[in-house]
Chain A
Amino acid sequence: MAQTASFPQTISSTVRSLDPRDFQIFFLSIFLCYGIYALDWGAEWSKYTTLIGVSLMVQLLGEWIVGNQQSSWKSAVITGLGLCLLLKSSELWVLALAATIAIAGKFLIRYKGKHVFNPGNLGIIAVLLLTDVAWISPGQWGSGFMLLFFFGAAATMVLLKVGRIDTCLSFLITFAALEFSRTVLYLGWGPDVFFHKMCNGSFLLFTFFMITDPVTTPSDGKARIIWSVLIGVLAFVLSHWLYIHAAPIWALIIAAPLTALLDRKFKHSLFQWNR
């Protein structure tokens, strides 16, 4: 007798067979809706469409030129969504430029079979430096334990699948330890000041969803930990001595070339989305 799978079994096998990027797209979309509807960002659909649309187009164009067998359109959607969540500009062309640079960077700036820069990170930094009409709003999520839980839980599901929870935790622990030492132990502020900083939504989004990109992190586990600790230290220095509000984003772009260096030192097979 032919066995028919029960509904829960169908669901669980469907979930298991999903690419981690499906989860990522799902969660990032939820975050965007949360921002638009609960945090009053305003529904700037033309901007979101531009970011996601241009990312996809450049991705497909790049794949066509390179002649890739397997399309990475999902990664392009993730990059587009990430840009929607972080980058601000009143000019559509600037957003289109950011998306173009983000994705084109994946095809043009490569070392030993992987791209060097986190695409979203590269797109954001490029337009911040090249134009004077783009900015990041680090305060736009506010700060709260709910955000920590919300982003943390969503990220855990993705990160367990891609095996990058080490990156996220070593960055978080390094940054938190340094921040706690300075804010609470040295300066003498109450723990509420420390928690308010650590529960900033933009910081958490970066920690759970940007720094953990499996392709641009070092392939080897030990190398990843060294790399994320370095980013944590750099972000701390930039925020406390140069008073840069979006310090982790700058730290990541500075540390990106180190991935190549660490990959040379610690040999490991390359990450594949569809294993």
Chain B
Amino acid sequence: MNMKKGWAIFFMVLIAMTPAMPTLGFCGFYVAKADANLFNDKSEVILVRDGNNTTITMSNDFQGDVSEFAMVVPVPVVLRRDQIRIADPGLFAKLDTYSSPRLVEYYDPMPCMPEYNYRMMESDMEINLSSVMVFDAVAESAKDLGVSIEAQYDVGEYDILILSAKESTGLQKWLTQNGYKIPAQANEVLAPYIKDQMKFFVVKVDVEQRGQFSSDRLNPIQISFESDRFMLPIRLGMANSQGTQDMIVYAFTKEGRVECANYRTVKIPTDRNIPTIVQPRFGQFYKDLFDKAYKNEGRNAIFLEYAWNVSPTWGVKCDPCNGPPPIVQEMNNAGVSWMTGNSGQVFFTRLHVRYSRDKFPQDLMFQVTPNKEHFQCRYVMNHAAQGDMSCDEGQRYLKELESRRKMEMDELSALTGWDSPLQKNYIQEFSNQIKGDVMTTIDPSSAWSIIKGIFVILLTLALFSSAWWVFEHKRASDLE
């Protein structure tokens, strides 16, 4: 992110949650995950939407001198002190782990001696943190700049101001005078927010208070408010940036999935069979896959990475699980206020947005839908059976394995654009165990599919021609 000049902006939205018994669904073993930290210049937000109430929790991975941290968020109302709190810093990691893209593995049964063999392996992704944010300083405001301090609070290690302004130049001047380093282009974005009666939630770190916190990371800030608008203002954050920024949105609602109302929400490719050689580089694989999907969709879509009912009473919450699903207490911390005990419904959605100034002119508007269809971003690898393959079944298996591996490599290339030099070795790894000339024979099942396909096409053509003939015939007799 272009945080060199550092201006952090976030947004707003909603949620609802519940805890769950960690019930494991069996569908392969989870091997690796591609968590949010893979993406540079990323921010994370938890949204809880309940009726008109929105709770937004903004992660804070700012690294550096905390006295230089600052954040400005446009909000629709003046927030009261009890609407602002510090959230549990562990929430983001928990939700990220639970919902991140997953790699699962299966083992082929041994064809000449049927038996099942499963194993579990663990590997994790490298982490590449990025940060955000700005500068600090305090000062008295000038009324003649048209800026009013609507409220001022100390919350945890933060000094918080809620500002309203009459015009953008005054606000910009005030912020600059008070040590908030605002990009020059912010003016054109501040003006519409001011006209739209938005207030500005301005945060910086109280360095003295900060000394009382043992953690070296800043805590997430959480705000709640009532508003018809369910949106995240992203425009301010792009004021000084021509590049792209990634944002992960974790949303909780009572009803179902959250989707974007003014950009396309599309599913990231999922449930694809990929070669086993991807495993050590799964993080990079997902990063490249996301990049390709983002470009394929015209760089202006929002990706669904996870959607699941996480109500405590709901059984399976992931399949397989990267990590435990959120429990009621964690959901309460995130702002899911309607959950008490184990009663209540909560649906969780994870969206991944890569936005840039040219492709995302509007702020993100969201809507809650009653769509409860589950979705997870999941990739599958199948390990080849090992051992004596001399039996007929074994020979057939080896041939199928070769064509399957070819498809896996094609899939890998289609998903990520990778063109691995290891391709041939991987496809033919076991081919030397195939006896005779069988390697060149056409798979009878694929030949049969081709014949069936041709038949269906011919049949369709015949149907259409007869319909056309009947139609023309009728028209001719009508004319007569």
Contacts and interface: CB of A to CB of B under 8 A. Distances in A.
Contacts, number: 78
A35 B259 CA distance: 17
A143 B361 CA distance: 11
Given A40-B267, A139-B263, A245-B367, A132 B255 contact: yes
Given A132-B255, A142-B263, A197-B362, A137 B369 contact: yes
| Among A138, A139, A141, A188, residue most surrounded by chain B Cβ atoms (within 10 Å) | A139
Interface in A161-197: 186-190, 192-193, 195-197
A142 B371 CA distance: 19
A255 interface: no
Contacts of B217: none
B228 A188 contact: no
A88 B262 contact: no
B365 A245 contact: yes
A217 interface: no
B266 interface: yes
A132 B370 contact: yes
Contacts of B370: 89-90, 132-135
Interface stretch (B100-108, B190-198, B336-344): B190-198
Interface residues on A, range: 20 to 34
B229 interface: yes
Given A90-B372, A133-B370, A186-B195, A192 B361 contact: yes
A137 B259 contact: yes
A43 interface: no
B362 A141 contact: no
B3 interface: no
B373 interface: yes
B264 A88 contact: no
A242 B228 contact: yes
A195 B260 CA distance: 18
A243 interface: yes
Nearest to B229: A243
Contact of A138 (B192, B261, B300, B373): B261
B211 interface: no
A142 B369 contact: no
A196 B229 contact: no
Contacts of B265: 137, 139-140
Contacts of A90: 370-373
Interface in A142-164: 142-144
A59 to B, nearest CB: 21
B301 interface: yes
Given A141-B264, A243-B229, 10 more contacts: A137-B265, A138-B367, A139-B260, A139-B263, A187-B192, A187-B195, A188-B195, A196-B262, A197-B262, A243-B228
11 contacts: A39-B266, A135-B371, A137-B369, A138-B262, A139-B259, A140-B265, A196-B361, A196-B362, A197-B362, A242-B228, A243-B228
